[in-house]
Structure 1
């Protein structure tokens, strides 16, 4: 077992960056966060490997200026496994690659049954990785040596995996597919913040009435503020289910709130004044939330036959046709075209020509290769649906 050290001093950091700059080819990059433990999604460890340089483990908390790492890796391909998970944390540090290769996405496009890092490494290289510390609290300091070994292995083999997958993509004629997917992942911006994030509270559907929803909102906001203040995951302070249980219990005093047995969590009692103040604000406010929130979400497909029978007919023909295409291409259907995109064009079709459907898919965010593979098939399905409807009408008359 190799002994790895966390680089947390300026001199060691600059020496490592110089070594990486002198390395060869792409750089494998990974990030460890403390999801489920900390409030933020910041990076607590950055692992980088480059041929000719070796593996380096950086502590971005201890290093004030991370820009030398950006300069060392500037202009080369960064290799990730599940890049969409790591890029947001790297962007917070202004570490933004100009080109990426995503081994998880490549595995999906190649039709791998399992696309976790261990499975992909084992399939391509025959090497078995242990994954004991994937859910660890990476804000821990100092980091235990077994964790560092695990972190190093996340990048040590990634370049070899990248080369093997690139060859398979070329063999299957999917190199351009992958390039478009990688670029879409690289430039994808974070989703805008929800207008009312408190509505994400698990179990909120049990809460009835605008006044009780106001209490839920105040409890959520109070927990968020405190979680951010102490940098602890909100659910570790007071779980959603505990807040919902407290609301449903309708406590009439702070002591009654404390007596709710399901109101648990590390801060449920130590911050009781905070939570009771949230109850009082919710019960006193004139700013009551809406009980029903307008949504542009489509009805579930099972309701289409009654709500929009023409759309139902289009979807029932197009969906299996797209699934067959995905099977022929040896990839999951959702990677060929997301079910949501197909439902959108089926519900409100722009027309029945491949060009019109392709334009609509592009507006929804489909990549060029996806449109090229699916637009003709979807158009043919929509035409068939129209013809079947016309024939049924003619028979009825």
Structure 2
């Protein structure tokens, strides 16, 4: 298992076929203000790839975009809504079809309100991850070892988590509902970009 670091694009041919786990690191939580700094991606075979974008990046990244936009390749996220918006806004592609472990968790782990990645990894997989670098500066000139490990851990477990969550979705009869939510996520992310992030357009208000 290794963490590979790349500048501005993913090398061609480094990922196996099939689903990929994806995450992003940005300068903050407001997509159109806080630039995309890092995209993490893993095919679930043991390696993680980190693609860093500099402050003057044009976000060309043809190899990375091809993977993210591939309609035949499932993209796994934790809180996909945020990552999809960042990917659409900065890379200009829609990362679909997608799967969100946070939504799956909320649909089947109704006995708790703890749906963070750390909580899921601990309960479902019996592993521990550190979130100490979550609020660090991802736009600096150098990403230290702790940041790289944190970024890699955000995609390291998503394939295995999907398997466990799918078992529960099937058990509770909520797989079709989950899929409908996943299918809507790119539209939800697009609404966020356009200014409807805090307004429920389905409500009566």
What TM-score, normalized by structure 1, do the two folds share? 0.45
Cα separation, 2, equivalents of 1:105 and 1:97: 17
Cα separation, 1, equivalents of 2:87 and 2:154: 16
RMSD of the TM alignment (CA)?
2.7
Match of 2:98 in 1: 100
Describe the shift of the 1:140–1:36 C-alpha distance in structure 2 as closer, same or farther (beyond 3 A): farther
Describe the shift of the 1:112–1:145 C-alpha distance in structure 2 as closer, same or farther (beyond 3 A): farther
* Unaligned segments of structure 2, at least 5 residues: none
Q: How does 1:328-347 map to 2 (within 5 A)?
A: 341=203, 344=204
Q: Aligned residues, how many?
A: 193
Cα separation, 1, equivalents of 2:45 and 2:2: 18
User: Which structure is larger by alpha-carbon Rg, 1 or 2?
Assistant: 1
SS in 2 for 1:65: coil
Per-residue deviation, residues 57-97 of structure 1 (Å, max 9, x unmatched): 00133575212112234121100000111111100212312
Which is bigger in relative contact order (C-alpha 8 A, separation at least 6)? 2
Match of 2:37 in 1: 44
Matched, 1:80 2:57: no
Cα separation, 1, equivalents of 2:171 and 2:8: 45
On the 8 A contact 2:26/2:36 being kept in 1, the answer is yes
Cα separation, 1, equivalents of 2:103 and 2:88: 20
Matched, 1:183 2:176: no
What TM-score, normalized by structure 2, do the two folds share? 0.83
Q: How does 1:1-397 map to 2 (within 5 A)?
A: 4-8=3-7, 13-14=10-11, 17-20=12-15, 23-35=16-28, 40-52=33-45, 54-61=47-54, 64-73=59-68, 74=70, 75-92=72-89, 93-110=91-108, 111-113=110-112, 114-188=114-188, 189-191=190-192, 192-193=194-195, 341=203, 344=204
Describe the shift of the 1:101–1:8 C-alpha distance in structure 2 as closer, same or farther (beyond 3 A): same
Higher strand content, 1 or 2? 2
Describe the shift of the 1:5–1:77 C-alpha distance in structure 2 as closer, same or farther (beyond 3 A): closer
Cα separation, 2, equivalents of 1:179 and 1:48: 22
Per-residue deviation, residues 283-309 of structure 1 (Å, max 9, x unmatched): xxxxxxxxxxxxxx9xxxxxxxxxxxx
